[in-house]
Copies of this chain bind each other. A is one copy, B any other.
């Protein structure tokens, strides 16, 4: 049986030598490791953003994948290192909420506030406390290299979860701002802007599916309904500004052949209001 894929997600920046060094550490332990980058473009130290990307992306990777995720402002402090095992992949990284949107799908309901939550049924977790599976010495500032990469490399060689540390009873969770519904309107916000300047909101396709969308409002503009593609003959403002369902299943504001972020001078946190029909 071939070695499981190791997937890397960090806030180190595309092309950072720190990413290269993590790969060197993995390949020194398992020269057959198959390493893939999910992204290294998480904004520096934005744990919740990293959590969202992992939550929305990990199901596109093989079920047996081992993910290393490092968005870790508390590195070297008392925050623990974690191995989380789910039905769709194992996850190695800091216990700081970075895996919130991975476990969300296995929880009966979403927590109301940030803080520790029990490990969901069907999942299990281990606290990383076995230095024999780490580099020696371990720095205080780069556990991605010194702890998480070697642990993942040993896992990929077949070391069982239980060797890496004792079971964790709980893990940290970060909540995502949820849209509210008031008087037939959904009030949400922009939660990310992609490379093309498309503005992705926290309003799900599911919340829009049972009723008609009369209009989408952002920064004083009113987009009279949803388009299906960036280019169809659906409703648009000024012929270019459209609202549609993104490939990740969220309401998205886009500009045809351009950047909505630039066109609207809008970014993360911008309010978005959906008027619903009957």
Contact = CB atoms under 8 A, between A and B. Distances in A.
Interface of A: 2, 5, 7, 9, 11-21, 23-25, 27-28, 31-32, 34-41, 44-45, 53, 57, 60-63, 65, 73-77, 139-142, 145-146, 194-196, 228-232, 244-247, 252, 256-257, 259
Nearest to A17: B39
Given A7-B24, A14-B15, A45-B257, A231 B77 contact: yes
B195 A12 contact: yes
The DSSP consensus for interface residues of chain A is loop
A228 B140 CA distance: 7
Stoichiometry, as copies per complex, reads: 3
A107 to B, nearest CB: 23
Contacts of A57: 17, 20-21, 24
A9 B15 CA distance: 10
A229 B16 contact: no
Contacts of A140: 228-229, 244-245
B229 A44 contact: no
A16 B195 contact: yes
A14 B9 CA distance: 14
Nearest to A143: B247
B38 A21 contact: yes
A159 to B, nearest CB: 19
A73 B257 contact: yes
Contact of A62 (B21, B27, B53, B257): B27
From A24, A38, A63, A232, residue with most partner B Cβ within 10 Å: A24
A61 B27 CA distance: 7
A195 to B, nearest CB: 4
B231 A73 contact: yes
A256 to B, nearest CB: 8
Contacts of A195: 11-13, 16, 18, 44
Contacts of A21: 38, 57, 60
A222 to B, nearest CB: 22
B36 A23 contact: yes
A192 to B, nearest CB: 10
A52 to B, nearest CB: 10
Q: What 9 A-B pairs come out closest when comparing CB atoms?
A: A14-B15, A76-B229, A142-B247, A20-B38, A24-B61, A13-B195, A24-B60, A17-B39, A139-B247
Contact of A141 (B45, B145, B229): B229
Given A16-B194, A17-B38, 10 more contacts: A15-B40, A16-B39, A24-B36, A28-B60, A31-B34, A44-B195, A73-B230, A77-B231, A140-B245, A145-B247
